[in-house]
Amino acid sequence: MTDYSHIGPNITKIRENLATAALAAGRDPADVRLIAVTKTYPAEAVAAAVAAGIKDVGENRVQEAVQKIAELRQLDGLAMPTWHLIGSLQSNKARIAVEHFDVIHSVDSVRLAKAINRHCASLNKLMEILIQVNISGEESKSGVAPEQLEKLLTETLEECPQLRIMGLMTIPPLDLPETARPVFKKLHQLMEDMKKKINHPRLIATELSMGMSGDFPVAIEEGSTMVRVGTAIFGART
Ligand SMILES: *Cc1c(COP(=O)(O)O)cnc(C)c1O
């Protein structure tokens, strides 16, 4: 039997650090959602996190999440968390993603947005999405280039009536606090710019998904509303 007794205390500690960072920045800690990133960890670990008060869970891979969701459905009395897809999504998996996730953080092309929209329409579902932006311009990272963001937003709003664009997401090159800070600042600024340029009822633009185990306090100082924390809750991934 694997021991999951560290999960609750880790979550308590992260919530304290989250609150400290928010208060120091003059923000309400309740405005920052803690998303527990459960990739590579089994359904039992997710259940332990939910028992410790986690309401939002993030997964990278559609298939892995589908399996865990099925296992969690077998557990009596478990309040199903909100499922966030934070890893890159291929258009051919859009249907399964739409069926299982509540929020998709990794939309980075109109083609993908349209695929999600099409499946949402056939399932009569509205989906909350975020646009992933590649701030640092690293080749290896997914995400739309900042210069392409306005065009992507405009076309997505025009062509995808089932989608509500909640905000922006980014992954910095390294999750070291002080190298990540300028990346977070830039994402925040981009969202403010877009809000000024585009006025549309489906552009909600209140969420900034940024910050992981190594840098979430800095992300909160820079305006994050969704931190995605894995290792600091569950331990190192093997
Ligand atoms: C794995 C992952 C995280 C969590 O990273 P930790 O360093 O374990 O907290 C956050 N966001 C994304 C997109 C990830 O893939």
pLDDT of 42 > 90? The answer is yes
Q: Is the CB of 213 under 6 A from ligand 1?
A: yes
Give which of 48, 168, 54, 63 is closest to 105, Cα–Cα.
Answer: 168
What sections of the chain are H helices per DSSP? 7-24, 43-51, 62-73, 94-100, 110-122, 149-159, 177-197, 216-221, 231-234
Atom of ligand 1 nearest to the CA of 234: 8
Ligand 1 contacts CB of residue 229 (under 6 A): yes
Digit-coded pLDDT (tens) for 165-179: 999 999 998 767 889
CA of 193 to the centre of ligand 1 (A): 27
If you average pLDDT over every residue of the chain, what do you get?
A: 96
| Rounded Cα distance, 139 and 142, in Å | 8
Residue 175 or residue 35, greater confidence: 35
pTM recorded for the entire structure: 0.97
Give yes or no for residue 233 having a pLDDT over 80.
Answer: yes
- Work out the percent of the chain whose per-residue pLDDT is above 90: 91
Is pLDDT at 205 greater than 80 in this prediction? yes
Q: Is any ligand 1 atom within 6 A of the Cβ of residue 143?
A: no
